[in-house]
Amino acid sequence: MERLNVIGNISRDLTRYPDHRGGPQLGGAALFVSLAAAQAGCRAAPVCVLGTDLAHLPKAPGLDRLDWSARLQAAGISTVFDLEYDPQGELMAVGVDYGVAEGLTRACAPARGPAPAQHSTYHVCCRRPLNVAPVLGRLAKHAADFSVDFFLPSAEEMIRAAAPWLPRASTLFVNATEYRLLEAVIDCGTLAEVIVSDGPRPAVVRCFGHQAALAIPPPHPPREVTGAGDTLAGTYLARRSLGATATQALTEATAAAARFVASPPLPIPAPRRS
């Protein structure tokens, strides 16, 4: 089975909602996409930089199912996010300290060095502090199979930076607002596959500008929305790699995301005592 390499951050998050939901939790797109892909049956490897504070993650219960061979360990703190949401789960404000992830492009992403590995696919979380141009440029140069996603606070900037290589991507994941930003930058008719999610509303697959599949997420009371889109992406990529149709994969992915938002957040595991 091909390995899915997920290039992005793993973080310590603090989420806040007006009704006092939220709190400290483990987060980061590289983690959520990888976990969802592994849960859906795919070998998944976070390509990330872990600080001293999260050095123990590869041995933590539930996280040891991932392939951690592509991570880099660095001295310092891991990325920290402070995420404030409105009552509907829309992101209102973001505070961040990237910590050791400032070295992600240089140290972990395939921006230089050997050609991307054969029998591997790549998912690039196009979010700060990653410099997407050398990463996507090298993947495209070597005809690697890659997909991408974005994060709304930096989506406009990252879509523009990634635009030259987006027609080479196998799949793009965006929410409804990001899709409008995408349309303003590139002809979506040139894109092989775009998955557009919209919270509890229907998600669609668009192939070269035309709707190819639709799925309505099952209703679940939201508990924690951080990571829902990443869960959808990881599940969809895994199911497609295992032969599911776009409709089948989207149905499973929206169901996985709906279960995710209704579940307790992922706690930050304590280091094991020796």
Q: What is the CATH number of the domain that holds 166?
A: 3.40.1190.20
Number of domains in the chain: 1
Residue 224 CA from chain centroid, whole number: 16
- What is the per-residue pLDDT across 197-232, written as a single tens digit (0 to 9) for each? 998 899 999 999 999 999 999 987 778 888 999 999
Q: What is the pLDDT of residue 1?
A: 56
In a domain, 116, yes or no: yes
- DSSP states of 28-71: -HHHHHHHHHHHTT-EEEEE-EE-GGGTTGGGSTTTTTS--TT-
Q: Which domain holds residue 258?
A: 3-262
Which candidate, 183, 218, 182, 184, places its Cα nearest to that of 200? 218
Q: Which helix (H) or strand (E) segment is 80 a member of?
A: strand 79-85
CA distance from start to end of the chain: 35
Q: What is the pLDDT of residue 120?
A: 80
Please, are residues 168 and 151 in contact by the beta-carbon 8 Å criterion? no
Q: What is the pLDDT of residue 107?
A: 73
Residues 129-139, mean pLDDT to the nearest whole number: 93
In a domain, 267, yes or no: no
Contacts of 269 (CB under 8 A, 6+ apart): 26, 56, 57, 60, 61, 63
Q: How confident is the model at residue 87 (pLDDT cuts 50, 70, 90)?
A: confident
In a domain, 153, yes or no: yes
In a domain, 274, yes or no: no
Q: Hey, what are 251's tokens?
A: 């149905």
Contacts of 62 (CB under 8 A, 6+ apart): none
Residues 182-189, mean pLDDT to the nearest whole number: 97
In a domain, 168, yes or no: yes
264: cis peptide before it, omega within 30°?
no
In a domain, 271, yes or no: no
Q: What is the pLDDT of residue 114?
A: 55
Q: What is the pLDDT of residue 208?
A: 97
Q: What is the pLDDT of residue 224?
A: 84
In a domain, 270, yes or no: no
126 to 27, 189, 204, 222, 258: CA distances (angstroms): 16, 21, 21, 26, 23
Q: How confident is the model at residue 259 (pLDDT cuts 50, 70, 90)?
A: very high
Residues 174-178, mean pLDDT to the nearest whole number: 97
Q: Please determine, for residue 121, whether its predicted confidence score (pLDDT) is greater than 70.
A: yes
Q: What is the pLDDT of residue 119?
A: 65
In a domain, 268, yes or no: no
Find where tokens 């706690």 sit.
Answer: 267
